[in-house]
Structure 1
């Protein structure tokens, strides 16, 4: 009996390890796709600048508030430096922590739902990064924007990382897209402090990408549209419509 239990434990551990290895390889492939897609449009400066003027024109036509005006509302340099730090340091670690938490702490059906959403969202974003290179607002000081990362630091585009970073992959904003995705998934599947943290992370990210002039409002809006489409294709397990419209009872 003891030997049988030991064998069962070994089989379960082996299965868990194989599943974990598969997920690591899959997510590594997604990250490689993300990096490759961003690098492919690095040299599209003229197109990216022209597209930025077009996006700015659309925002003005839609009477969206000016990102520069919101940037000017930040009262201190310390807050801008804190926003820069959040932009540079929090995006990837929180996303990785979310996936690890989902794999280790949540039912596998919930984890796979979240993983599929991220894969689809990222794949569509990469296609748009290549097809529609876009310069961020911070590259347009004549329009009233301040490049807070360059002026106050820290910057995501200094040193070795700056040599390979694509500054023309603003549309859509995966900072916003991933943060809102995390908030939606956690709000639907968990509660307590984790839920509150996920929601606050999304709110703070939206504010941060705006006040640092790293994204236009349209970048976040398009990211939200992609997420809605992903939720249609991969609805929450047991839900036949967009998740927040129908809760499983």
Structure 2
């Protein structure tokens, strides 16, 4: 012992960890509000198709690549289309939940930051289908795209007239892409491995999947990125400092410090 006091690892495992039960309720509530909110925004079929034609025409006017170019890669064989459909159906929620769990256990300060960013992003995304309902490209005849989930399976959607579990006219923004991008950003910020930038493959693959399966337009991902950027600007991430022992440590921005101090009481 040299008499020195080890500085607290505020951003790491020594940071104050919010109560588990409260966090489970908050995250579960976030998912439920997301699902219920999208269902409440149903019933705008005509407007959704009108907006879909606007989005399609706008993308062509600004010379965005055609969604069909991505889909054509998936249609070379049933296997690729099925893999993409499975990725779309099964990866979205589990990997986001695993991301939050890992941060909660290993990077509590980053967990609070990431959960708050996801909450702001998701809340903002719930508003858009009310003011701008949007039919996905697989439903718009002008796109000439294939509904790969319907043709090759598996599909998470039923016929729009009888599907009461989801709002298929809430294509914008794509939370599949927004959440995937936040997972990558969160892990890049919270870790120091030289390989951490490979996490960007997750949103990249997600982007190709949502476009290639004709569930989203490019613009859905662009809007999700802009909304995530706004959330990241509002919610300050934990800041890394250098401890007196020469080792990297982390500290929270003022707003996040208040959150963790309150959680530790």
Q: Which has the higher contact order (CA 8 A, sep 6+)?
A: 2
1:57-78 CA-to-partner distances (Å, cap 9, x unmatched) read 1111111011022211332221
What's the TM-score, normalizing by structure 2? 0.79
Aligned residue in 1 for 2:25: 25
CA distance in structure 2 between the partners assigned to 1:29 and 1:98 by the alignment: 17
CA distance in structure 2 between the partners assigned to 1:24 and 1:43 by the alignment: 32
Higher mean alpha-carbon deviation, 81-90 vs 52-61, is at 52-61
Aligned pair count reads 224
CA distance in structure 2 between the partners assigned to 1:193 and 1:88 by the alignment: 30
CA distance in structure 2 between the partners assigned to 1:156 and 1:47 by the alignment: 23
User: Offset at 1:142?
Assistant: 4.0
* Change beyond 3 A, Cα 1:192–1:158: farther
CA distance in structure 2 between the partners assigned to 1:163 and 1:101 by the alignment: 33
Structure with the higher helix share, 1 or 2: 1
What root-mean-square deviation, in Å, do the aligned CA atoms of Structure 1 and Structure 2 show? 2.3
Within 5 A, what are the aligned runs for 1:80-119? 80-106=81-107, 108-119=108-119
User: Offset at 1:194?
Assistant: 8.0
User: Offset at 1:155?
Assistant: 0.2
CA contact (8 A) 2:49 2:135 kept: yes
Aligned residue in 1 for 2:66: 66
CA distance in structure 2 between the partners assigned to 1:195 and 1:158 by the alignment: 38
CA distance in structure 2 between the partners assigned to 1:205 and 1:162 by the alignment: 24
CA distance in structure 1 between the partners assigned to 2:37 and 2:190 by the alignment: 31
Aligned residue in 1 for 2:132: 132
1:37-86 CA-to-partner distances (Å, cap 9, x unmatched) read 10012221111111101111111111101102221133222101100000
User: Offset at 1:189?
Assistant: 1.3
1:99-150 CA-to-partner distances (Å, cap 9, x unmatched) read 11111111x2111111111000000000112221111001124421100000
CA distance in structure 1 between the partners assigned to 2:235 and 2:143 by the alignment: 40
Aligned residue in 2 for 1:48: 48
Q: Secondary structure at the match of 2:82?
A: helix
CA contact (8 A) 2:38 2:129 kept: yes
Aligned residue in 2 for 1:11: none
Q: Secondary structure at the match of 2:239?
A: coil
CA distance in structure 1 between the partners assigned to 2:197 and 2:141 by the alignment: 36
What's the TM-score, normalizing by structure 1? 0.83
Q: Secondary structure at the match of 1:71?
A: helix
CA distance in structure 2 between the partners assigned to 1:125 and 1:26 by the alignment: 18
User: Offset at 1:158?
Assistant: 3.8
* Change beyond 3 A, Cα 1:81–1:22: same
Where does structure 1 lack aligned partners over 5 or more consecutive residues?
A: 1-14, 240-247
Aligned residue in 1 for 2:121: 121
Where does structure 2 lack aligned partners over 5 or more consecutive residues?
A: 1-15, 241-249, 252-265
CA distance in structure 2 between the partners assigned to 1:170 and 1:117 by the alignment: 21
